[in-house]
Structure 1
Amino acid sequence: MTTELSSSPQASALNPPAHQAKHIVEPFQFTGNGAEYFRIWIVNLALTVLTLGIYSAWAKVRKTRYFYRHTRLDGCSFEYHGDPVAILKGRIVMVVIAIAYQFVAKFSTGIAGVLSIAMTVLIPILMWKSLQFKLHNTSYRGVRFRFIGSRKKAYSAFLLWPSLSGLSLGCLGPLAYQRLKRFQHGESAYGVTRFGFTASAKDFYRVFGKWALVGIPIILVSVLGFGMLIMLLQKTIDSPEKRWLGFLLLVPAGFTIMAVVGAFVSLVLIQVQNLVWNQTTLGRHRFRSRAKAGKAIFIILTNLVATALTFGLFTPFAQIRMLKYRIESMQMQPASSLDEFVAAETASVSALGEGMADVFDFDIAL
C-alpha cells in the first residue's frame, strides 16, 4: 500500500534517523461508489421531503458516515460520530432566527436592523461551535480530532477579515481566505498533536490573482453575450413557433455558461486544495496534494452533462466521482511509523480524558 519517496531535498529533509522506520508515502483512498451511494441519497431525499426537512439532520449523518467510512489511510478508515439530534438543534435555531427576522422586518425596520447586527455578531460563534462539533466527532483509528481555536480568533477569521475584504471590494479577499484556512488548519489537532499551516497570503494572491486575470474576463464576456442574446430574442420573437426557437437557443447558451463557470471554479478549487494541503503539517508529518486541473475540469464538465441528461438523478454519482478524485490526489508523508504515532496519540488522549464531550452537543451543520 505504501510507495517509496524519490530522492529530493524535501524527501531528504523528512527522512528520520536510521533507528526509525524507513520514510514512506501513504496515499489516501476512497472506496465508495455511485451505485451504493445513490441508494443512500435517494432515501435521504425522499424522507427529508416527507418530513418537511426534519430528517435532513439524519440524512447528513448517514451521508457523512458513508463518506468517512470509505475514506482510508494506511488501510484504516475514518469514522464520524455526529449525533443527528445535535445537528437538528442547530438547524432549528437557525430556522427560528430566520423566521423571527422575517416577522420583525414586517413591523419595524429599526428592530430588524438591530437583529441583523446581532445575527452578524453571532455568526462567528456558530461557525466556531460547528468546527468544534465536526472535528470532535471525527476519528481515525480510535483517536478523535479536536478544534482548539479561541472565540477571539473565530471573530477575526469569520467577521473581521471578511468585512475588510468587502470594504476593499475584494482586494483583501485572498488575505481573508488565508486567515480563514490558517484558523481552520492551524487550530486543529489529532489527539494531542496539533496541525500546522505555513501558506502565506502571498501564496493565495498568486493562486487567486492568476485565475482571476484569466477567468473573470471570460465569465463576464459569456454572461454579457447571454444577456444580449436574451434581449435580441425578446425583440424578434412574436409567435409561439419563434418562442420554441428562442428556447432551443437559450438552453445550449445557458449550459455553455454553466460549463465555463464550472471549469473556472474547478480550476480555482484544485489550485487551492493543492496550496492548502501542501502547506499543512501534523506534528512532523506532512501532506501532499497532486490534483490536476485538466482532470478536474473533465470530471466537472462530464458530471454537468450527465446530471442534465438524467434530470438530476446523476447527482450522487457526480458527487462520488469528484470526491474520489480529490481524496485520491492526496497523500501523507509520515516522518515515522504511523502505527507508532497513533499508539502514542491513543495513550496521550487516554491520559487526557474526554471531559469536554458535553461542550460539543450543538452543530449548525453547514
Structure 2
Amino acid sequence: MEQEQRVRFHATGGEYFRIWIVNLLLTIVTLGIYSAWAKVRRNQYFYSSTELAGSSFEYHGNPVAILKGRIVAAVIFGIYLAAAAWAPLAAVAVALGMGAASPWFIWKSLQFRLHNTSYRGIRFRFVGDVHDAYTNYLVRPLLNGVTFGLATPFIHQRAKAWQHNESRYGKARFSFDGSVADFYKLYGGLLLIGGAGLVLLFQLMIKNAPAPASSAQAAGETSLFLLAFYGWAFVVYPLFINMLQKLIWNHTSLEQHRFHSDMRWGRLAFITFTNYLAVICTLGLFLPFARVRAMRYRLESMSLLVDGSLDDITAVQDGEVGATGEGMAEFMDYDLSL
C-alpha cells in the first residue's frame, strides 16, 4: 500500500536574507572569489531545509572545486570577448568551440550536482554517458532548424527522459515514462492559450489606440502596451512552469516509489507576480524572501508515494566529480532543473 510523504521546506526569508547579504558583501569585497563559497553556503542551507519522510537532504559541494570551474569558465568567456574585440573571425571560431563543448559541460554539471547531493547518508549519481549528452544537446536541437521549432517538444522530452532515466539514488534507479505526445500536448496547449491571449492583446491595443497627437502620447501608449505584455507574460510563464512540473514529476519514479506534484497555476501566478512587485518596490532587498517563497511552494507541491520502505536502498561507492561543467553551465545560463 502506498504511503504519501510530502516534501517540507523549513527555510525562512529572514534566515536566508542574513546568508544572502553576507554572501553578497563578501563576493563584492573579494571581487567574486567568494562566490563559490557563497554558493555552497546557500545550497547547504536550502538542502538542509528540505525534508522528505522525516529526513533532510545534504549538499557536499567543494567551494575550491567550484571556484576552479568558474575560473575555467571565465577564462574561456574572456578569450571569446577578447576575440570579439580584436578578431571577429576568431570570435566566431571560439563561439563555435563553446557550442560544440556545451554538451560536455552539461554532462559534467549533471554529474557534479547529483554526486554532491545526499539523502539519509546515500548520495545521488548520474550515470549517463557523454555520447548521449551530445545527442540530446547538440544533434537533436539541429532538428529545430529544419522544422521551424516544431521539434522542440520532442527534443525536450528526450532530454528529460535521459536525465531522469540515467539518475540514481544509491543503487536505486529513477525512471521517466512521460511520452513525446504528452510534451506536444503541453506545448500545443500553451501555444493556443498564450498565442490567443497575445493576439487578443494586440487587437485591443490597435482597436482602441487613436493616432498619437505627440511623441509623448506615443511613448505613453507604448509603455501601456509593454505593461499589458508583461502582464500577459506573468500569466503564461507560471502556467508553463505549473504544467511542466506536473508533467515531469507525475511521470517520474524511483524504483517502485512514485513522485507526484499537485502545484496549482493560480497560486504560482500570484506568488510570481507579488514577488516581482515586492522586489521592484524594495529595490532588490526582497530577493531572498522571494526566492524562499517560490521554492517553498514548488517543493511543498511535491510528494513521494512510497510503496514499501526507503530503507531498502543501499549506497554505492562513487569517485569525486570535477566542477568545471557546473561552472560553465552556470556561465552559459543552463537551467537543467526544467
* TM-score where L is the length of structure 2: 0.88
Counterpart of 2:11 in 1: which secondary structure? Answer: coil
Structure 2 counterpart of 1:298: 270
SS in 2 for 1:345: coil
**Partner amino acid, structure 1, of 2:59:** Y
Matched, 1:87 2:49: no
Is 1:282 the counterpart of 2:258? The answer is no
Which residue is equivalent to 2:240?
268
**Match for residue 11 of structure 1?**
none
Q: Deviations over 1:117-166 (max 9, x none)?
A: 21111100011001100000000010000000000110011111222224
Within the alignment, does 1:345 sit opposite 2:317 as a pair? no
Identity %: 41
Residue type matched to 1:99 in 2?
G
Is this contact kept in 2: 1:125–1:151, CA < 8 A?
A: yes
Match of 2:138 in 1: 159
Shift of 1:300: 1.1
Determine if contact 2:37/2:63 at 8 Å carries over to the other structure.
yes
2:196 and 2:25 map into 1 onto residues whose CA distance is 41
Task: Give the whole-Å Cα distance in 2 for the aligned partners of 1:255 and 1:40.
Answer: 34
In structure 1, the partner of 2:103 is 124
DSSP 3-state at the match of 1:156? helix
- Residues 35-44 or 278-287, more deviating: 35-44
Are 1:226 and 1:254, in contact at CA under 8 Å, matched by a contact in 2? no
Residue number in structure 2 paired with 1:61: 40
Given candidates 286, 294, 298, the residue that maps to 1:314 is 286
Letter paired with 1:201: V
Contact in 1 for aligned 2:246/2:260 (Cα 8 Å): yes
Deviations 1:292-315 (A, max 9, x none): 111111111111222222122111
Give the letter aligned to residue 277 of structure 2: V
Distance change in 2, residues 1:206/1:227 (3 Å): same
Cα 1:91–1:128 change in 2 (3 A) is: same
**CA–CA distance in structure 1, aligned partners of residues 106 and 84 of structure 2:** 25
Q: Which moved more, 1:249-258 or 1:42-51?
A: 249-258
1:8 is aligned to none
CA distance in 2, matches of 1:263, 1:51: 39
Alignment of structure 1 residues 239-258 onto 2, 5 Å: 254-258=226-230
> Is the contact between residue 277 and residue 289 of structure 1 (CA under 8 Å) also seen in structure 2?
yes
Amino acid at match of 2:314: E
State the TM-score, normalized to the length of structure 1. 0.82
Q: Which amino acid aligns with 1:189?
A: R
Alpha-carbon separation, structure 2, partners of 1:54 and 1:100: 19
Q: Could you tell me how far 1:217 is from its partner in structure 2?
A: 4.1
Alpha-carbon distance change, 65 to 232 in structure 1, aligned in 2, over 3 angstroms: farther
Larger RCO: 1 or 2 (CA < 8 Å, sep 6+): 2
Note the aligned Cα RMSD (angstroms). Answer: 2.6
- Residue 189 of structure 1: which of 153, 162, 168 is its match? 168
| Distance (whole Å) between structure 2 residues aligned to residue 89 and residue 282 of structure 1 | 33
| Residue in structure 2 matched with residue 7 of structure 1 by the alignment | none
Larger CA deviation: 33-42 vs 48-57: 48-57
| 1:101-120 alignment runs, 5 A limit | 101-120=80-99
